[in-house]
């Protein structure tokens, strides 16, 4: 479209539509009922040696009456800008731990945190409060944190991660291998798990370098006593290669897409029967 008179091309129709939706999402986020509309879906994490589901990753979802389902890829960055992310994280953590109550004791839940959640002790203390109020065993909770959440303030991140570990929870470095300093973080911070990013898994057969990277990452984790989980496994071939490399925990569409809380127990029953 052209601005009348200026003669300058501003936006294509598609770009304009995307922007309108983005603005609508932003407006809805600040006025919506977060408590009502935010919920989590759960994706199984499978242990290969025991052929068991050992945990589920909780992934945030937003269902808005006007806008429908909104992806975390769009609402999480917006919520980080508006400052609502810490409230959303607490709501999602509480709902995840409520779901966890119904699961077998040997199944854990893995919750994603944002940079803002670990940016000050105040927000960490409030998250610890949610865990305490839920009555959940902290040993059954993993917190996933990406490298971008750490680069902002290393010392603060270290304090926050120690608070989570002292509670008894596990802390996983998410999207491992995609950032610039993952290697230095894993030995300077109290992580006890890492999640190998799905971009490596996606290319594990087609790219010799991805294969070698995953192989080295798994060896490194093994040497350092860190548990590794490979993300984004979509095919039997990817699974076979990961198994050959000694990877013991995997997650991906090959086993299941994320599912609503009410599907978790039936899914566990069906999986056990195999
Ligand atoms: P992530 O933490 O790396 O989560 C994995 C994403 O990959 C999820 O997308 C999941 O549905 C998707 N996925 C799982 N298996 C496969 C697979 O086999 N193939 C492919 N192509 N994708 C797979 P989702 O749920 O859309 O979440 C996207 C990202 O949004 C997450 O990436 C995470 O960074 C962020 N996110 C999601 N939920 C939350 C949350 O509650 N809090 C925060 N802070 N961030 C969240
Ligand atoms: Ca994650
Ligand atoms: Ca990830
Ligand atoms: Ca990711």
Q: Which atom of ligand 1 is nearest to the CA of 234?
A: 18
Which pTM was predicted?
0.94
CA 54, chain centre distance (Å): 16
Q: Which residue has the tokens 């980080």?
A: 80
Please give the distance, rounded to the nearest whole angstrom, from the Cα atom of residue 174 to the centre of ligand 2. 6
Does ligand 1 lie within 6 Å of residue 123's CB atom?
no
Tell me the backbone φ, ψ of residue 108, rounded to 5 degrees. -105, 170
Residue whose CA lies nearest to ligand 1 atom number 13: 232
> What percent of the chain is modeled with pLDDT above 90?
80
Does ligand 1 lie within 6 Å of residue 229's CB atom?
no
Residue 5 has pLDDT above 80, yes or no: no
Global ipTM: 0.97
Tell me the pLDDT tens digit for each residue of 174-190: 998 887 767 788 888 99
Rounding to the nearest 10 degrees, give the CA dihedral for residues 157, 160, 161, 165.
170
Return the best residue to mutate from 71, 112, 148, 195 for the ligand 1 pocket (most ligand atoms within 8 A of CB). Answer: 112
Residue 2 has pLDDT above 60, yes or no: no
DSSP code of residue 172: E
Tell me the backbone φ, ψ of residue 44, rounded to 5 degrees. -65, 145
Does ligand 1 lie within 6 Å of residue 148's CB atom?
no
Please give the distance, rounded to the nearest whole angstrom, from the Cα atom of residue 144 to the centre of ligand 4. 10
């Amino acid at each position: 479209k052209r601005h009348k008179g200026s003669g300058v091309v501003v936006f294509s129709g598609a770009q304009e539509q995307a922007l309108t939706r983005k603005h609508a999402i932003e407006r809805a986020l600040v006025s919506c009922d977060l408590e009502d509309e935010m919920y989590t879906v759960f994706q199984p994490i499978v242990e290969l040696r025991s052929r068991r589901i050992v945990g589920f990753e909780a992934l945030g979802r937003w269902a808005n009456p006007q806008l429908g389902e909104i992806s975390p890829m769009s609402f999480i960055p917006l919520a980080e800008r508006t400052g609502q992310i810490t409230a959303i994280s607490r709501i999602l953590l509480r709902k995840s731990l409520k779901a966890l109550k119904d699961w077998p004791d040997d199944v854990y839940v893995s919750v994603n945190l944002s940079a803002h959640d670990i940016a000050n002790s105040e927000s960490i203390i409030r998250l610890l409060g949610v865990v305490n109020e839920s009555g959940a065993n902290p040993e059954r909770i993993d917190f996933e944190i990406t490298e971008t959440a750490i680069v902002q303030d290393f010392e603060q991140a270290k304090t926050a991660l120690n608070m989570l570990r002292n509670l008894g929870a596990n802390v996983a470095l998410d999207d491992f291998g995609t950032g610039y300093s993952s290697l230095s973080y894993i030995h300077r911070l109290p992580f006890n798990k890492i999640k190998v990013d799905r971009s490596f898994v996606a290319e594990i057969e087609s790219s010799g370098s991805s294969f070698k990277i995953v192989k080295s990452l798994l060896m490194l984790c093994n040497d350092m006593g860190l548990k590794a989980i490979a993300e984004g496994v979509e095919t039997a071939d990817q699974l076979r290669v990961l198994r050959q490399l000694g990877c013991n925990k995997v997650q991906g569409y090959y086993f299941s897409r994320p599912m609503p809380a009410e599907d978790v127990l039936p899914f566990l029953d069906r999986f056990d029967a195999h």
